[in-house]
Amino acid sequence: MYKIALFLSFALLLTACNLNSDEDPEKDDNPEVPGTIYGSSTISLNEAYSTLKTSLENNDQIGIVAEIDHSQNAASINKDLGPTKIIFFGNPGLGTPLMQENQLAGLDLPQKVLFYENKDQVFALYNSTDYLASRHALGEVESLNQISVALENLVGDAVKNDLESSISKSVTASEGIETVTSSQNFETTYQSLQSIISGNENLSIIAELDHQANAHSKGLELRPTKIIIFGNPNLGSPLMQASQTAGLDLPQKILVWEDANEVVHLSYNDPAFLKERHEIKGSDDEIQQITDALHNISNAATGN
């Protein structure tokens, strides 16, 4: 059983892969997701995925948190989706400092890499540290550069190719994040959230992470912070059918955190933000259903 670890990095100092701007007009199928880095793989999806997974398993500072085969989940409900897989992994030694600066960074942790195949071309895609720094107002947290170098080398080695920056678009602090304040204490709020999700036959819990406990395992302090990752293929699959890159932000996640004043909050990604980020066309019914579900779950869990 893997030891759950939250955020990522290599302990080794490696040479970073080249990050090139995408100016080739013929690369129309390249992912254009704001705030991401991608690589076009020179090997098959399964080979690239396995290479990354092996690298993670061989580094004792990194823990694999979850693996999700989005296309397999889509097939389970009789929907067609091209090969699409995501892996979550991390190292609390480098991720915790981000949450010490701003606990909301835990909503985008652990790290994750999406692999997908589109028109016989395989891509690996992940969030850049610039995106994390801007969205969570992280400033100059030292571990950001270490995380960036580690990700570049991990993914570059997996796809056997240089990496490129996707389109640049500024993101403001807390953009696309919905937060609800709880009238209950931290543990009661989290247990209520867990019970609501696990009690819904349409939802499946993928992983639960205690960011604070993982921080303590590295001798670091962090206020109570937990995240629960869960999904519903009936709603998520149509979004990925419209835009495969949406798999980078699926399944859904809800962060429960206690601030410096011991006030408890619950935060999650606004589906409208994800729709815009991945240029999802249509799927308005699914987006609304997800929005309503997150709203209802959050209010119930926080006692509002």
- Taking only the tens place, the pLDDT of each residue in 61-113 is 999 999 999 999 999 999 999 999 999 999 999 999 999 999 999 999 999 99
- Give the model's pLDDT for residue 28: 56
* pLDDT band at residue 191 using 50, 70 and 90 as cut-offs: very high
In whole angstroms, how far apart are CA 129 and each of 68, 108, 111, 116, 225?
Answer: 23, 11, 10, 21, 21
- Taking only the tens place, the pLDDT of each residue in 116-170 is 999 999 999 999 999 999 999 999 999 999 999 999 999 999 999 999 999 877 8
- Taking only the tens place, the pLDDT of each residue in 240-282 is 999 999 999 999 999 999 999 999 999 999 999 999 999 999 9
Structural domain spans, the chain? 19-302
- Taking only the tens place, the pLDDT of each residue in 29-51 is 899 999 999 999 999 999 999 99
What is the DSSP secondary structure assignment for residue 70, as one 8-state letter? H
Please, are residues 232 and 202 in contact by the beta-carbon 8 Å criterion? yes
Global pTM exceeds 0.95 = no
Query: Strand order of the sheet with strand 36-40?
Result: 19-21, 163-165, 36-40, 121-127, 111-118, 84-90, 63-69
Report, at the CATH architecture level, how domain 19-302 is classified. 2-Layer Sandwich (3.30)
Average pLDDT over the chain, rounded to an integer: 92
% of the chain residues with pLDDT over 90: 88
69 vs 247: CA distance, rounded Å:
10
